[in-house]
Amino acid sequence: MTEKYMSLDSMGSGEFLEALRNGTDGVWSIDAAIWLLGEHGVWLDNSKLRECAVGGVDESGRIWAGLDHRRVVSAIDSGELGEWGEEIAILMIAMSLLGDYPISLRYTIDCISAKNIALVAAAVIRADGFLGATVATPQS
C-alpha cells in the first residue's frame, strides 16, 4: 500500500471534517469522536488542532485525516489549545472517545450547555454502535 501524505492547512472546515470521517475506518468510537467535533464545529478551523493532525491520500485517491491522540491530549493538558471552558470540555470528551484519555465526566460536563450536552449524549450512543438513535435536547 502506497500513501501520499499531505498538508491539511489549506482545507476548509468541511473538507477537513470529510477527511477525518474518511480516517475513522468504521470504528464506532472514533466515528463518534469525529461526529462530536463536526457537530460542535468549533475545533474544525482551529490551526493548533490541525497541527496535531496527519493526513494523506490513499491508493484510491481518497483524502483521509486523523488526529494524533497523544499530541492533542498533550496540547490540552499543557493549555496550548486554550483555557478551561466548554470548548475544551467538548474536545476532552472527543479525545476520551477517540482513545485512552481518562476524564472526570462529572467535572467535564459541568460547564457544557444543554445543546452541547445533547451532542455529547448522542456521541456516546454512537460510540456504542447505535448510529440511528436520537437524543432530545434538554430544556435550558
Q: Show me where the domains of the chain are located.
A: 4-127
Average pLDDT, rounded, for the chain: 90
Residue 78 zone, left/alpha/beta (φ > 0; ψ -120 to 50; rest): alpha
Q: pLDDT tens for residues 97-109?
A: 999 899 999 999 9
C-alpha cell at 87: 470548548
Please indicate whether residue 131 or residue 56 has the higher confidence score (pLDDT): 56
Please indicate whether residue 131 or residue 34 has the higher confidence score (pLDDT): 34
pLDDT higher than threshold 80 for residue 132: no
**DSSP state letter for 25:** T
Residue 93 and residue 140: Cα distance in Å, rounded? 21
Separation in Å, CA 115 to CA 43, 46, 88, 109: 16, 21, 16, 12
User: Across the strands, what pairs with 65?
Assistant: 55
- End-to-end Cα separation, the chain, in angstroms: 51
Tell me the pTM: 0.89
Which of the four pLDDT bands, split at 50, 70 and 90, describes residue 34?
very high
Q: pLDDT tens for residues 76-127?
A: 999 999 999 999 999 999 999 999 899 999 999 999 999 999 999 999 999 9
